[in-house]
Chains A and B, each alone.
Chain A
């Protein structure tokens, strides 16, 4: 029998809850200093232009201005970017999007800083903006970067698709378009920078990897990274949007010129919309072949992603998209290709789901279309084609870690919504509304792919008050990883969770443990804590044996204390002993994420060793008069391995589902000729509480052997299959297929009209544009 667990697997309340619900918690953008100054960024006036000159004299002379900085004031390398640093910190000779920074100002007040920005004269020569990714790929298009406009190209070939398409009984082919989604974190980018008398620079700015932010700052400043401290946690929401540098380098540069006064930048929402990265809009062409019995034979994919003006993580996004483009299925013949393309449309980068959102709409819609034509049940066709642990994936590699898809489908077909769907569909709220129920399944890699460092690190320190300080680099992004770390530590140390304090995201207090991205922080950080905790037990036990002068084997680790025979020691007493005897009270735990050994040729880092899986069932109601669609019910069935905190898992499932609803039905940042037409939440509509459906979460608790207590990851896959599930539910309700997201009332209305007119061809790209 397994030993029972005290903390892991329990609905432990968030350890940061009280500070958050009272507003006492200080975010980086909340700090206020007496002698502060305000920093502002001058953004490019045009999406694509040459800069002939930048005149700053008038701005410098404005009373109250402390400094005005341009590219000439950058001591180090004028560039940043996670993979290749192709984005200038401050533009020198060219601007490639309206988010480009041209100059920085620090001033006594925000108003003076803004006025100073208006006094900076930039002489631009306008160039014709490239705003279409396919056009940008053509040989005649002007080159936005020295190596051309195709930033990356991935291609995976397995089997023989030509032969397979000849054998096929059914072939489906469509083109899918997806929008430029905005992260819409509630806390816009911002923070503080200050330099002290000894040259130590402190940057307080929410980010998803403090150590990498520090490296990028140091590179731009040509400054010893040891003299830079980055505090990046807590974060007021990020979802990938604070993975790249936001304002950290601006803060550090300004801090060098403000005579030791702290400088604050906090972007307005309007500036955040223009300067912040977005989800890549994709065009996905897909051709899928199957046998009469529903066995998938072949899949061809060509995806083009608009990465905007700079690389950021665009190459990795398209690689992950292609890796996931066949779904969690075993398709023996595939030919998959993706292009990541530069344009002048803002900047695209990391966003929850990381490319998988855009491709899963293709394969899942095709599964439903094939099932319908062959008169197969949508669950059966998926069960027939999913891979299991030990099977060979569509890419041709053996999947060695846990795979929960089949179980999620079993739960899906037995849930109330699916079983009783014909009844629910009859219960329309108005006679002109129609309801549909559909399901979809997807997956998402956990951690980085092949070729990237991926490790977790944690430290645990016994404090003078007898509590333990658990320090993990991965920031508290909102998902509750800090509570998870506390649960794992308390479980192994056998103490009450109130004895655990957690610190995250601070280069002076936490070890380098990688990013809070890629659905990795519970898995990787959790394993690191689980590696450190037994060392702390050993440290406590050794000290206790010395104090009590008994053999080590006599020491028993009890709840909140250590005992030997009749005697008991508190943690506080042990700390005092260690302190007096100058012995260390801190341990470290390290974990290397397991990797696949062989990279799939041309894939750019596939496969991942580990994936999380999830099936969504949804019910929608479509107003046939207006095209407006409501999602009424969602069932989310994740395979995240062992669930460390069911309440936290539900929180991810619920938040992810609603973000997926926004992506499918409402959200798109409109950019025309390189200029953002979307400005703020007045014209960028995210779901409110009124759009939230009834959401149920039924996790498949299939333990993954390599994870902490059997856990995997959850953060991204929670928003993925709901997207095609909603699209298919709209079809189930109305007979209208949607190929272009978001499925706005207008698009649905037009699709309904086409169905009504019995257009002979209702295929995507032909009818949609």
Chain B
């Protein structure tokens, strides 16, 4: 057992556990943040995606012992129902979630992708960025639409694009 300190969604957390426990298990079991899901446990599916210092990682492949003083953002940190992020709103509007089990990971990956670009991404760019997130329900079409819609809305808010 070891005492570990790191930031999750802006709050400092102190967790006492084995340093070889995965970040995913710590989030779900020690911090009761269950938006991040385990699906393959091998870094193949992206259901457990979180941001580690702003970069997307599979939290099932990160050991909590590696995280001293690091910053984690989960889907809950991107927005909750009371204050949804524009990406989350766009996913609801476009119907880009079905069973929803993969959705938090996809929201996280979309957030990381969109924060680095200042235009509406092409379909191919979205396909490259989201290639690591499996979804079995939607066929991805509405996910592509939702990401484009979110990018448009963000640009409109910045005044970089006229509102339609």
Contacts and interface: CB of A to CB of B under 8 A. Distances in A.
22 contacts: A14-B97, A17-B95, A19-B100, A21-B107, A22-B78, A23-B34, A23-B75, A24-B81, A26-B34, A186-B47, A186-B135, A187-B37, A187-B99, A188-B39, A235-B99, A236-B37, A236-B100, A477-B99, A655-B139, A657-B139, A686-B136, A689-B140
A185 interface: yes
Nearest to B95: A647
B136 A680 contact: no
A238 B100 CA distance: 12
Nearest to A188: B39
B100 A16 contact: yes
B81 to A, nearest CB: 4
A190 to B, nearest CB: 10
Interface of B: 28-29, 32, 34-42, 44-45, 47, 74-76, 78-81, 84, 88, 91-95, 97-104, 107, 126-128, 130-144
Contacts of A650: 95, 141-142
Contact of A18 (B29, B36, B39, B81): B81
Contact of A187 (B39, B81, B130, B144): B39
B88 A21 contact: yes
A188 B101 CA distance: 10
Contacts of A479: 98, 137
A112 to B, nearest CB: 13
Given A236-B99, A658-B139, A186 B92 contact: no
Q: Is the interface of A mostly helix, strand, loop or mixed?
A: loop
A23 B104 contact: yes
Interface of A: 11, 13-14, 16-27, 30, 32, 183-188, 234-239, 266, 268-269, 477-480, 647-648, 650-651, 653-659, 680-682, 686-690, 692, 695
Contacts, number: 185
A478 B137 contact: yes
Given A22-B84, A682-B42, A186 B98 contact: no
Contacts of B74: 23
Most buried by B among A655, A656, A682: A655
Contact of A681 (B37, B38, B98, B134): B134
Nearest to A23: B35
B134 A17 contact: no
A24 B91 CA distance: 15
A65 B132 CA distance: 38
A651 B138 contact: yes
B140 A692 contact: yes
A690 B103 contact: no
A686 B76 CA distance: 27
Given A17-B92, A30-B34, A236-B37, A269 B140 contact: no
Contact of B28 (A20, A30, A680, A686): A30
A187 B138 contact: no
Given A186-B134, A236-B37, A655-B138, 12 more contacts: A14-B97, A18-B84, A27-B34, A186-B37, A478-B98, A478-B137, A479-B98, A651-B142, A655-B136, A657-B139, A682-B40, A682-B42
Contacts of B102: 186
A178 to B, nearest CB: 19
A656 B139 contact: yes
Contacts of A268: 41
B103 A682 contact: no
B79 A22 contact: yes
A236 B47 CA distance: 11
A688 to B, nearest CB: 6
Contacts of A686: 134, 136
A340 to B, nearest CB: 26
B42 A269 contact: yes
A659 B98 CA distance: 14
A479 B95 CA distance: 11
B39 A651 contact: no
Contacts of B138: 651, 654-655
Contact of A24 (B39, B76, B101): B76
Most buried by B among A21, A477, A655: A21
B22 to A, nearest CB: 12
Contact of B99 (A234, A269, A648, A687): A234
Contacts of A17: 91-92, 95, 97
A182 to B, nearest CB: 10
Closest 3 CB pairs of A and B: A23-B35, A478-B99, A236-B101
A24 B95 contact: no
Contacts of A692: 127, 139-141, 144
B39 A22 contact: no
A126 to B, nearest CB: 31
Contacts of B104: 21-23
Contact of B126 (A19, A22, A689): A689
Nearest to B91: A21
Nearest to B146: A21
A185 B134 CA distance: 10
B99 A186 contact: yes
Given A22-B88, A23-B34, A24-B80, A655 B98 contact: yes
A277 B40 CA distance: 17
B101 A654 contact: no
Most buried by A among B79, B104, B130, B139: B139
Nearest to B44: A681
A681 B99 contact: no
A692 B139 CA distance: 7
Given A20-B103, A22-B76, A32 B34 contact: yes
A21 B44 CA distance: 21
A186 B79 CA distance: 22
Most buried by A among B44, B75, B76, B93: B44
A26 B132 CA distance: 24
Contacts of B126: 689
Given A20-B100, A689-B126, A239 B136 contact: yes
Nearest to B126: A689
B97 A269 contact: no
A669 to B, nearest CB: 15
Nearest to B123: A694
A726 to B, nearest CB: 15
Most buried by A among B47, B80, B136: B136
A186 B97 contact: no
B43 to A, nearest CB: 9
A185 B37 CA distance: 12
Most buried by B among A186, A477, A695: A186
B52 to A, nearest CB: 17
Nearest to A236: B101
A657 B76 CA distance: 31
Given A650-B142, A656-B139, A13 B95 contact: yes
A637 B75 CA distance: 36
Contact of A689 (B34, B107, B131): B131
A32 B92 contact: no
Contacts of B40: 269, 680-682
Contacts of B99: 185-187, 234-238, 477-478
B32 to A, nearest CB: 6
B98 A185 contact: no
A207 to B, nearest CB: 14
Nearest to B33: A23
Contact of B81 (A19, A477, A653): A19
Given A32-B32, A686-B134, A654 B79 contact: no
Contacts of B94: 647
